[in-house]
């Protein structure tokens, strides 16, 4: 029996090790391609062992360092502010819909659920943003994403639904109002699911470039993703320009793609370890009761 247990444990370790390797290899490949000479990529494709090394992709990004530094500041600002604001709105909406004392709670749940299936379309969304003054300012990069991710709200609501109703009733008896119950009792208990939702919102804000294209004209307000998108597009345009005679320089189109990936994932990589221990628990508990 002991020998069988040891064999099964070894098999589990082997499977986990294989899975970990499968996760590490793509990341390592991204790093290697980002420092590979473009002509080598054209000849041999992506490889963990490049024929020729080159930092031309990073040099191209460094030449735009002033714009990149400004865009980093913009992205960090909208990610922090937007995530915190979205978290408060989501938490309060979830608490309201989890409260059995709220009238028409079923109708409100249905109202939010419909937004998961249908939306008003791009043109009404753009007109509404214009009417609200959400153009060419930081609010244009924050507010539209607050209205409204119902999936995250339902995760938090389901988590709150699983909590004992005696918590709320005893707080009412002690004289607490709903605002105090929400912020001092329910939200602290809901840290696992709130951490999960925080990661979702942070990823959404950090990776957003669509709002910048649609609503922002000032270069000082471009987020990081949009600036890197423009740099990569410019490099790809250079590759399509016909040249006569021998080609002296090959623009780093493919290596630049990988370099931009490494530049953009940094803050999220640092954020994830702080939220990892809550992530799975928040998803499981928040999705059990519907």
CA atoms of 14 and 131, how far apart (whole Å) = 58
CA atoms of 224 and 227, how far apart (whole Å) = 5
Strands (E) across 29-159 are located at none
pLDDT in tens, 88-101: 999 898 988 888 88
pLDDT in tens, 24-63: 888 888 888 888 887 888 787 788 888 888 888 888 777 7
Strand, coil or helix: what is 135? coil
Token pair of 55, please?
């930092």
pLDDT at residue number 194? 87
Token pair of 228, please?
């890197």
Going by pLDDT thresholds of 50, 70 and 90, the confidence category of residue 162 is: confident
pLDDT at residue number 280? 56
pLDDT in tens, 96-142: 888 888 888 888 888 888 888 887 788 888 898 889 888 888 999 99
Strand, coil or helix: what is 239? helix
- Going by CATH, does the domain composed of 56-288 fall within 1.10.3720.10? yes
Give φ, ψ of 53 to 5 degrees: -95, 150
CA atoms of 281 and 60, how far apart (whole Å) = 42
pLDDT in tens, 240-289: 665 554 445 566 777 877 888 888 887 777 777 766 666 555 444 544 44
Q: What angle do CA 97, 101, 102 make, to 5 degrees?
A: 45
pLDDT at residue number 287? 44
CA atoms of 73 and 75, how far apart (whole Å) = 6
Q: Does residue 1 surpass a pLDDT of 70?
A: no
Close Cβ partners of 31 (under 8 Å, ≥ 6 residues apart): 258, 262
Residue 100 gets which letter from DSSP?
T
């Amino acid at each position: 029996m002991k020998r069988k247990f040891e064999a099964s444990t070894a098999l589990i370790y082997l499977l986990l090790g294989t899975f970990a390797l499968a996760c590490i290899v793509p990341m390592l490949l991204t790093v290697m391609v980002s420092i590979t000479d473009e002509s080598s990529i054209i000849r041999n494709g992506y490889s963990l062992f490049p024929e020729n090394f080159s930092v031309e992709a990073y040099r191209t990004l460094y030449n735009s360092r002033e714009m990149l530094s400004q865009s980093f500041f913009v992205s960090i600002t909208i990610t922090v502010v937007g995530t915190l604001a979205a978290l408060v709105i989501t938490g309060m909406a979830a608490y309201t819909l989890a409260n059995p004392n709220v009238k028409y709670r079923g109708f409100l749940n249905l109202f939010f659920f419909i937004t998961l299936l249908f939306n008003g379309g791009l043109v009404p969304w753009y007109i509404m943003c214009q009417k609200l003054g959400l153009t060419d300012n930081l609010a244009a990069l924050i507010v539209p994403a607050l209205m409204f991710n119902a999936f995250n709200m339902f995760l938090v609501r389901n988590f709150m639904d699983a909590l004992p109703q005696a918590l709320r009733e005893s707080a009412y008896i002690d004289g607490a109002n709903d605002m105090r119950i929400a912020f001092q009792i329910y939200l602290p208990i809901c840290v696992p699911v709130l951490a999960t939702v925080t990661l979702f919102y942070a990823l959404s804000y950090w990776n957003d470039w669509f709002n910048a294209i649609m609503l922002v004209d000032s270069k000082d307000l471009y987020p990081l993703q949009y600036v890197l998108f423009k740099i990569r597009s410019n490099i790809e345009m250079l590759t399509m320009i016909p040249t006569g005679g021998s080609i002296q320089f090959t623009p780093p189109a493919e290596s630049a793609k990988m370099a931009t990936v490494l530049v953009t994932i940094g803050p999220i990589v640092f954020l994830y370890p702080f939220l990892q221990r809550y992530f799975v628990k928040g998803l499981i508990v928040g999705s059990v009761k519907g």
